[in-house]
Amino acid sequence: GRNSSMSGQRGMTRIVQANRQATNGQVMAQDGISHTTRQSLSRMGYWSRLQHWVPLLSAKNKKKRFQWACYHQHWTIEEWKNISWSNLSRFLLRHADGRFYRPLSVRVALTGLEIWSDQDKIQVDKSPSDTLNRFLEWRTRELLPRLRHDNAQLIMGGSFDGTTVGMASQSSMCSKDRSGGVNVDHLVSVLGVASTIAHELGHNLGMNHDTADRRCQCQNEPRLGGCIMEPSTGFMPGQLFSSCSARDLSLSLLHGGGMCLFNVPQPEKLLGGPRCGNLYVEKGEECDCGLLDECNDPCCNASTCKLVPGAQCSSDGICCDNCKLRSGGWVCRQPLGECDLPEHCTGTSPYCPPNVFLQNGEPCEEGSSYCYSGVCASLNTQCQMLWGPNSTRAPPVCFSSVNKQGNKYGNCGQLANGTYIPCPSKDVHCGRLQCQGGNDRPLLGTSAEILTTKVKFNYSDFVCRGTYFHLGDDVSDPAMVAQGTACGLDKVGISSAIEIQCKILFVFVCNSNKNCHCDVGWAPPDCRYTGHGGSVDSGPARAPRGTSPFLC
């Protein structure tokens, strides 16, 4: 969620503020983190990266990581200058990585920390949606140009209106302008903040709330906090993900929601310095399989983080087989959809190359849609995700009839004061999604408001189905046409123009790094000469017997 179910939430905030002068030795929280240290969370930003093995695919051929950041309002130098940042970062990492996400086969690595010590970089007020939008705009404008990352989280020390203690964009992890969330430091223990951040990151990753109608299985008793994705939190925060969360994550990744999560974090940028046993291969290490009692890698010595005698590589890498490097050309990551590209082992590294995909603007679905961030942004696909597999996009007359109205069922956005913006005629396909067919109710949420509009056009009757649903105070409405969707003649639903750059003879496609991805039989970088195919990013593709190169 995230709402606070504690009746005295605002009072709780006042208690926290009243203890700002506490020293590390005066007020102790869990894991030896002081109350003062906990307060410092509200004035800092940090980045982490996660690695995920997709449960519904091969456990060895889909490795994903993401990077996120957190920020907050400034406190005085005196309030945080003596904080033990190493203890704080270890605590956050221990919970986000080990306690929360690792049971989902997700890895977290803290790679940076930023403190807003002079002033707030954005206006932070009582409106969670306004604060979220300002923060995401700041991230796009200021943070992304200077630091590569996949997700940003704001931690604030004040409070929002009502009981909301966090808000995030749903299924937005790889979005340039929507991947992030805002979080209120609302509990006495830093564990509550860590749980709220994990909750909002869950929304970014495609997880929905654990509502009663979903019948989720949670291994944590309610008196111990329940599970992380429950709509509200009490004094004891959720510390586990439920069966619904695991399923939501898998489905989101299978639908292309994790196209940016394959790149490996640079070990030298991990916060806290190198440490044998943290599952990241850092300077001076040949492998890292975790602590001695959790290591199950026969190729790695957990005590020294060195390879065992005779081993070429660690089994942690998919391009390592029985402690030996796989030959170049072995497919280590199959394409996930028609807008993705395969990656191959290089023969020199145990790891699969970082993920690349078709560059934005390449046509998909037989030319009816465009690729955007590795996903075919199709109206039909979006309707099926909302209404089920038998749903399709509504005819154009539905978009023009409904989205010109400027209400919650049909619009092209919303102003800060809550007023809905009617779509101009040229942009009706870039507003709220209009579908037909499918299930009686949307798949997302339980409080959906459904608008069925009957439209007559050319002596034919059409039934248009739109929806407005409230997934929680911490989730923005996802029933708008997705970015990158073809929404008119030569138009797509993004703020900047798509540019097709790679149009050289013999080149089949161009990838997200704007490099040529050659057909089998041609060699990168420009595909002018014979070779094994692939690109400078993907590793060499091995030519199957009996095939011939494809010429554009």
Give pLDDT, residue 362.
86
**Is residue 224 domain-shared with residue 154, that is, in the same domain?**
yes
User: Residue type at 472?
Assistant: G
Which CATH number fits the domain that encloses residue 111?
3.40.390.10
Annotated catalytic, 200?
yes
Binding residues for Zn(2+): 199, 203, 209
Does 479 map to a domain?
Answer: no
Does 421 map to a domain?
Answer: yes
Instruction: Check pLDDT > 50 for residue 313.
Output: yes
Give pLDDT, residue 112.
62
Q: Which of 348-357, 363-372, 481-490, 509-518 has the lowest mean pLDDT?
A: 481-490
**Is residue 243 domain-shared with residue 338, that is, in the same domain?**
no
**Is residue 395 domain-shared with residue 456, that is, in the same domain?**
yes
Give pLDDT, residue 75.
40
Does 261 map to a domain?
Answer: no
Rounded mean pLDDT of 60-76?
Answer: 44
- Sheet of 363-364: strands edge to edge? 363-364, 369-372, 375-376
By C-alpha distance, which of 392, 390, 412, 413 is closest to 400? 412
Confidence of residue 11 (pLDDT cuts 50, 70, 90): very low
Range of 16-20, 92-96, 510-514 with top mean pLDDT? 510-514
Instruction: Check pLDDT > 60 for residue 33.
Output: no
**Is residue 64 domain-shared with residue 210, that is, in the same domain?**
yes
Give pLDDT, residue 350.
92
Rounded mean pLDDT of 294-307?
Answer: 94
Q: Note if the pTM is more than 0.85.
A: no
Does 526 map to a domain?
Answer: yes
Domain edge (last residue) among 227, 254, 281: 254
Domain edge (last residue) among 254, 279, 296: 254
Instruction: Check pLDDT > 90 for residue 131.
Output: yes
**Is residue 343 domain-shared with residue 383, that is, in the same domain?**
no
**Is residue 136 domain-shared with residue 187, that is, in the same domain?**
yes
Instruction: Check pLDDT > 60 for residue 76.
Output: no
**Is residue 144 domain-shared with residue 101, that is, in the same domain?**
yes
Q: Tokens at residue 87, please?
A: 């203890």
Give pLDDT, residue 212.
86
pLDDT digits (tens, 9 = 90+) for 431-485: 899 999 888 888 765 567 888 888 877 778 888 888 886 655 555 566 888 766 7
Three-state secondary structure along 472-508?
A: CCCECCCCECCCCCECCCCCECCCCCCCCCCCCCCEE
Rounded mean pLDDT of 374-393?
Answer: 86
Domain residues for the domain of 413 are 378-468
Does 407 map to a domain?
Answer: yes
State the DSSP string of 356-397. -BBPTT-EETTTTEEEETTEE--HHHHHHHHH-TT-EEPPHH
Does 427 map to a domain?
Answer: yes
Q: Answer whether 330's CB lies under 8 Å from 297's CB.
A: no
| Comparison of pLDDT for 225 and 186, the residue scoring more | 225
Rounded mean pLDDT of 497-510?
Answer: 49
Q: How far apart are CA 66 and CA 201, in angstroms?
A: 10
| Comparison of pLDDT for 354 and 44, the residue scoring more | 354
**Is residue 79 domain-shared with residue 163, that is, in the same domain?**
yes
Instruction: Check pLDDT > 90 for residue 303.
Output: yes
Strands 534-535 and 539-540: antiparallel
Does 301 map to a domain?
Answer: no
Give pLDDT, residue 531.
86
Rounded mean pLDDT of 360-377?
Answer: 84
Give pLDDT, residue 377.
77
Instruction: Check pLDDT > 60 for residue 180.
Output: yes
Give pLDDT, residue 279.
82
**Is residue 383 domain-shared with residue 423, that is, in the same domain?**
yes
| Comparison of pLDDT for 473 and 353, the residue scoring more | 353
Rounded mean pLDDT of 214-236?
Answer: 86
By C-alpha distance, which of 35, 41, 31 is closest to 18? 35
Domain edge (last residue) among 209, 225, 254: 254
| Comparison of pLDDT for 150 and 66, the residue scoring more | 150
Q: How far apart are CA 447 and CA 218, in angstroms?
A: 22
Instruction: Check pLDDT > 80 for residue 83.
Output: no
Instruction: Check pLDDT > 70 for residue 278.
Output: yes
Q: Tokens at residue 432, please?
A: 């709220």
Give pLDDT, residue 463.
86
**Is residue 548 domain-shared with residue 450, that is, in the same domain?**
no
* Overall domain count for the chain: 3
Does 495 map to a domain?
Answer: no
Instruction: Check pLDDT > 80 for residue 7.
Output: no
Q: Which candidate in 79, 114, 137, 200 is catalytic? A: 200
Confidence of residue 135 (pLDDT cuts 50, 70, 90): very high
144 contact partners, CB below 8 Å, separation of at least 6: 176
Give pLDDT, residue 10.
25
Give pLDDT, residue 311.
97
Q: How far apart are CA 350 and CA 317, in angstroms?
A: 5
By C-alpha distance, which of 414, 321, 350, 342 is closest to 127? 414
**Is residue 154 domain-shared with residue 189, that is, in the same domain?**
yes
| Comparison of pLDDT for 372 and 168, the residue scoring more | 168
Q: Tokens at residue 182, please?
A: 């805002």
| Comparison of pLDDT for 304 and 176, the residue scoring more | 304
Rounded mean pLDDT of 260-266?
Answer: 72
Confidence of residue 200 (pLDDT cuts 50, 70, 90): very high
**Is residue 170 domain-shared with residue 94, that is, in the same domain?**
yes
Q: How far apart are CA 382 and CA 376, in angstroms?
A: 10
Rounded mean pLDDT of 60-81?
Answer: 44
